[in-house]
Amino acid sequence: MDVVDAMSTIRSIDFAGPAIADAVADAANEVRENGAVLLRGIVPMPLVARLYDELARATEEDAARFGPSHPFPGMVHALMTRGDSFLDLLGVDAIRAVCRAILGHGAVIHAYNSSSLPPLQSNYAGRIHVDSPRHIPGYITNLGIAFPLDEFTRENGAMEIWPSSFHLTATPSVEKFDANKVVLAGLGPGDAVLSNARCFHQSGVNTTNKWRRAVTMNICRAYMRQQFDYPRMLAPEVVERLSEDVRQFLGFHVRMPASMEEFLAPPDQRPYRAGQE
């Protein structure tokens, strides 16, 4: 069976309009029931341009640092440490709101990386996989969000996803996946796809001579571990500029105390605070 554009099989919700609270509630319900939703216009276009430039620079820096043997070409880790635009993306209220609507008000960033395809190649994501190993029926532990910085097309390796596959306990065959997948061709800069991280997906192959750039987030529940110790990775002068809401999203309130003094600190100063979920 031929695949079809995402617009006909995954619901699109407009985040560029004024009814953000309604959009958040609708998107959360769509992920719970059907596995994935398209968030149209959730990222302002001026921010997209800044993200593109800073990601291109970070990719070049990693290529120079790690060389051709780097196991993650095109994947820049811990993006919040690589430029102000990535912190500003975390500051988009609707992104945090929809994640919290599904995972609880204490939801935090598990991973914040790029998923870009080099020219004429695929990447580490070019296999059928999920972004969460846990399968708990009726309970979402992780969300995945992909933000294209170039329009996704079939030619440049658009992400492919089987939305309702979050019910599966084992990786489907290539034939089964291909029969049910949605190719996210037409998802463009400013948009995003939000999904249950148990949805099976993969990147395509970039057959063009240009990079296909994208940013991804994995969001987890408050009691779960993060991929990196983000609070410790960020410079104090950067942390000072962040809102309390963004600090929470980065995991500043779910750190382990390193001393009795930290453990016994006043509630608003403790590294791990009560009531995270």
User: What was the pLDDT predicted at 277?
Assistant: 75
Give dist(CA 135, CA 241) in Å, integer.
38
Residue whose token pair is 């942390």: 239
pLDDT of 69 > 60? The answer is: yes
User: What was the pLDDT predicted at 4?
Assistant: 43
pLDDT tens digit sequence for 218-248: 999 999 999 999 999 999 999 999 999 999 9
| Mean pLDDT value across residues 19-43 | 96
- Average pLDDT over the chain, rounded to an integer: 93
User: What was the pLDDT predicted at 2?
Assistant: 35
Torsion of CA 92, 95, 96, 99, to 10 degrees: 180
Longest alpha-carbon distance in the chain: 62
Pairing outcome for strands 192-196 and 142-148? antiparallel
Range of weakest confidence among 62-71, 101-110, 229-238: 62-71
Say what percent of the chain tops pLDDT 90.
Answer: 86
Q: Is-contact 82 58, C-beta < 8 A?
A: yes
pLDDT of 6 > 50? The answer is: no
User: What was the pLDDT predicted at 161?
Assistant: 97
pLDDT of 1 > 60? The answer is: no
Question: What are the distances in angstroms from CA 247 to CA 101, 189, 201, 211, 242?
Answer: 18, 26, 30, 32, 6
Q: Is-contact 203 125, C-beta < 8 A?
A: yes
* Cα first-last separation, the chain: 43
**Which domains, ranges and CATH numbers included, belong to the chain?**
6-269 (2.60.120.620)
Range of weakest confidence among 60-74, 140-154, 173-187, 198-212: 60-74
Give dist(CA 179, CA 53) in Å, integer.
37
User: What was the pLDDT predicted at 5?
Assistant: 53
Give dist(CA 66, CA 69) in Å, integer.
7
pLDDT tens digit sequence for 120-165: 877 776 789 999 999 999 999 999 999 999 999 999 999 999 999 9
Residue 78 neighbours by CB distance under 10 Å: 18
Higher-scoring residue by pLDDT: 206, 120: 206
